[in-house]
Amino acid sequence: MDNFTAFFDAFETRVHYGNENLLQRQQSNTMKQVETVACLKEKIARYKQQENEQRTKRENAEHQRKELMGKLSKMRAKMSDISSALARVAGSEKQLRSHIQYLKQPATSAPQDIAAIQELKSNVRVKLKRRSDAFDLTALIAEVQAIEQQGKERQKMSEELHEKFGYSSAQVVDNEMLQERLDSIQNELSSIEDERTKLAGQKYAIDNRLMEITSQEENSRKEIAAVESELNDVEHQALELKQKQAEVEAQIASTSLELEEMRAKVKQDEETLQVSKKDHENKKLGTLAELEKVENDFHYQSDQMLEQLENGRNAVEEAQAEARSSL
């Protein structure tokens, strides 16, 4: 009986220690589980924070990329406008140079017209001089007056002869001859006057033509000066546009380089994020496997302890039953 009591006490002590050990293990497992869950939560929070930071970086990089692409599009549009302006300036410059070259060339018809006019003017002057030398109007008028006086005298003599001798027929013939000569001289004078009037009109036309040619030459010189001034302005504008084009090209090159660096950085961040995600997934899987193993061990030990406890209780009940039956 004493042995049984000692055995029973030892068994109760062992069950008590087993319960305490089980409780300690349960508490330890609970603490480990809490610590593991807290660690996992911390890791998950850190991962989420890193993911948010990476998302923010990607969004910022995408925003910067869009801004850079917008700037690049604006610069390309501006570059296209500058190229169009340069093309227009080049066309205008070519047209102005062609116009200047055309204006600088002497007119093909003007020298011929001037030579013809000068030749006509010289011929008119020679002809006028010849006519003037051939016909002295003063002497001609004096001769006409002398002929008229002579005609009057002959008329008087004819009348006297007609009265005295009846020579009227001869007088009529003389008068007709004198009248014909006088008419011829008057016709020639009229022709000379008409020719002088015609030559004066031609001289006036020639002078007007010379004045017109001189005015055209002056206008051409002024136009050439204006075109040269405009060409200088166009060349200055083309130089400014080329400088602006160089600045825009430099800015485009800088922006393109910055964009490439940004793309490389984003790509590197994405690769780093992928590696971090992969490591986190691996750690997460390892932690879950470890936690599952701990839970399985805990359940297995709990089941073992419960089975031992149940066996101990059964043994105690059997011992108590035997003790009661023995009494």
The pLDDT of residue 299: 76
The pLDDT of residue 59: 74
Q: Does pLDDT of 136 surpass 70?
A: no
Question: 277-284 long-range CB contacts below 8 Å, 24 or more apart?
Answer: 277/51, 280/43, 280/47, 283/43, 284/40, 284/43
Q: Does pLDDT of 1 surpass 50?
A: no
Average pLDDT score over residue span 240-255: 73
Q: Does pLDDT of 96 surpass 60?
A: no
Average pLDDT score over residue span 241-245: 74
pLDDT in tens, 11-67: 567 656 666 766 676 676 667 666 766 766 676 777 677 777 777 777 776 776 667
Cα distances (Å, whole numbers) of residue 127 to 140, 192, 197 = 19, 11, 13
SS (HEC) of 235-269: HHHHHHHHHHHHHHHHHHHHHHHHHHHHHHHHHHH
The proportion of the chain whose per-residue pLDDT surpasses 70, expressed as a percent, equals: 32
| Alpha-carbon span 313 to 291, nearest angstrom | 32
Which residue blocks in the chain are alpha helix, DSSP H?
2-104, 110-134, 137-164, 168-326
Tokens 């007609």 identify what position?
A: 162
Average pLDDT score over residue span 288-316: 76
| Alpha-carbon span 302 to 189, nearest angstrom | 161
The pLDDT of residue 209: 66
| Alpha-carbon span 144 to 26, nearest angstrom | 169
- Contact by Cβ (8 Å): 324, 1: no
Q: What is the identity of the amino acid at 306?
A: L
| Alpha-carbon span 300 to 34, nearest angstrom | 19
Nearest alpha carbon to residue 47 among 277, 244, 287 = 277
Question: 148-155 long-range CB contacts below 8 Å, 24 or more apart?
Answer: 148/182, 150/178, 151/175, 151/178, 151/179, 151/182, 154/178
Tokens 């040619």 identify what position?
A: 213
Q: How confident is the model at residue 168 (pLDDT cuts 50, 70, 90)?
A: very low
- DSSP at 108: S
Average pLDDT score over the chain: 66
Nearby residues of 298 by Cβ (< 8 Å), 6 or more positions away: 25, 26, 29
Burial class of 145 by CB neighbour count within 10 A (0 to 12, 13 to 18, 19+): exposed
CB burial of 22-39 (b: ≥16 within 10 Å; e: otherwise) equals beebeeebeeeeeebeee
The pLDDT of residue 318: 75
The pLDDT of residue 10: 65
Average pLDDT score over residue span 98-107: 53
Backbone dihedral angles phi then psi of residue 108, each to the nearest 5 degrees = -75, -30
Average pLDDT score over residue span 205-218: 69
| Alpha-carbon span 281 to 253, nearest angstrom | 41
- DSSP at 25: H
| Alpha-carbon span 244 to 150, nearest angstrom | 100
Count CB-CB contacts under 10 A for residue 74: 10
Q: How confident is the model at residue 169 (pLDDT cuts 50, 70, 90)?
A: very low
